[in-house]
């Protein structure tokens, strides 16, 4: 199926919220990882989201070049073309854009989409994340307020982060565990007062409830997914809306238990970012292949090796299938498996 149109993406999110499930949003940084996600989603019968960070986009452009807007456009064009061969629908999203990267990442991509929409096409990415977690909340909200009309004009969605996700994601780093790792209802109310609840443009929110990017063992991070429900109730009461007025995003979920994920989804999470686990699945399978086939991938003791072993396709397809398996697991945890309408 083609990449989702903006209306299809909005319908995907609405259906997830109404159906009590969420979509996996997988970070990609190569054609292999894109293919792996598409394979996994197809085998699971799930729609999903392909997303790219500034670092991933730099890599797509060539690691010696680091032209992230170019890399993101290349990622989108590749994904848009190859997705046509798969019977599921995917949306494209840019992940974690901090303030220093706005001018060379999101802004050029918005401009490119504006030109494409002006010519009668669809936006290149269906949503963009503004990561204002490193600036004061007032500035975070002000920049979001400036971005939202531009996204609305191209029928795209803005993702904002309210609070601080600990750990590091492609250079966006926060140390320690403190009160900032837990978003408050008052924080979210300030954002709602500035952005509205959809009338000025659609936005989704990455609230923080103890999340940490990167690698950690279960139990080492104090997640409080019940906080999401409390914030939903507080916003509903303050602004007189129906239940669960916010569309939420779960960042930093590696090591989370099935119960924590389920409670987050029940409290309005419609998108869960997955990066660390899929990276490990990909690389672990490559390491296993290399160890098991060392005398084929290396020219040992004057031998010639085995071309069928060191051909990158030999281990590449194994790595893609291993990453695809982790994607399938994510769809099962989030309840999106078997939910594709494609």
User: Among all residues, which ones are annotated catalytic?
Assistant: 95
Identify the three-state secondary structure at position 166: strand
Overall size of the chain counted in residues: 342
Instruction: Pick the closest to residue 211 from 173, 251, 172 (CA basis).
Output: 251
Residue with tokens 């975070």: 140
Whether the CB-CB separation of 28 and 276 falls below 8 Å is answered with: no
User: DSSP state, 215?
Assistant: -
CB atoms within 10 A of CB 168: 13
Question: And the tokens for 204?
Answer: 């989704």
Closest CA to 56 of 23, 88, 78: 78
Pick left, alpha or beta for residue 211 (phi over 0 → left; psi -120 to 50 → alpha; otherwise beta): beta
Triad 16, 144, 170: Cα angle to 5°: 75
CA neighbours closer than 13 Å in the CB half-sphere of residue 57: 28
Token pair 């259906």: residue? 15
User: Is the distance from CB of 17 to CB of 134 less than 8 angstroms?
Assistant: no
Distance, in Å, from the CA atom of 341 to the CA atom of 221, rounded to the nearest integer, reads 36
Query: What's 169's DSSP letter?
Result: E
Distance CA(206)–CA(64), nearest Å, equals: 32
Please tell me the distance from the alpha carbon of residue 20 to that of residue 184, in angstroms, as a whole number: 23
């Amino acid at each position: 199926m083609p990449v989702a149109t903006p209306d299809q993406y909005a319908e995907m999110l609405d259906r997830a919220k109404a159906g009590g499930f969420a979509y996996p949003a997988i970070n990609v940084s190569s054609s292999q990882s894109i293919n792996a996600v598409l394979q996994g989603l197809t085998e699971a019968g799930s729609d999903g989201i392909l997303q790219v960070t500034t670092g991933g986009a730099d890599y797509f452009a060539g690691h010696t070049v680091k032209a992230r807007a170019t890399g993101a456009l290349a990622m989108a064009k590749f994904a848009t073309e190859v997705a046509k061969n798969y019977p599921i629908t995917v949306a494209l999203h840019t992940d974690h854009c901090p303030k220093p990267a706005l001018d060379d990442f999101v802004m050029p991509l918005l401009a490119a989409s504006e030109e494409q929409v002006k010519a009668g096409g669809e936006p290149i990415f269906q949503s963009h994340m503004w990561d204002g977690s490193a600036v004061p909340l007032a500035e975070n909200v002000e920049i979001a307020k400036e971005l939202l009309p531009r996204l609305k004009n191209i029928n795209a969605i803005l993702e904002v982060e309210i609070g601080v996700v600990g750990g590091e994601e492609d250079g966006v780093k926060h140390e320690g565990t403190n009160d900032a790792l837990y978003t408050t209802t008052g924080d979210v109310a300030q954002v709602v007062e500035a952005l509205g609840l959809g009338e000025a443009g659609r936005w989704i929110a990455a609230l923080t409830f103890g999340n940490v990017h990167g690698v950690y063992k279960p139990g080492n991070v104090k997640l409080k997914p019940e906080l999401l429900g409390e914030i939903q109730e507080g916003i509903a009461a303050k602004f007189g809306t129906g239940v669960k007025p916010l569309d939420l995003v779960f960042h930093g979920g590696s090591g989370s238990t099935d119960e924590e994920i389920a409670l987050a989804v029940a409290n309005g999470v419609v998108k869960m970012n997955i990066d660390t686990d899929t990276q490990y699945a990909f690389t672990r399978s490559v390491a296993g292949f290399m160890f098991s086939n060392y005398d084929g991938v290396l020219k040992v003791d004057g031998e010639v090796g085995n071309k069928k072993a060191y051909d990158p396709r030999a281990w590449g397809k194994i790595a893609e299938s291993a990453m695809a398996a982790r994607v399938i697991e994510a769809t099962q945890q989030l309840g999106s498996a078997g939910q594709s309408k494609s």
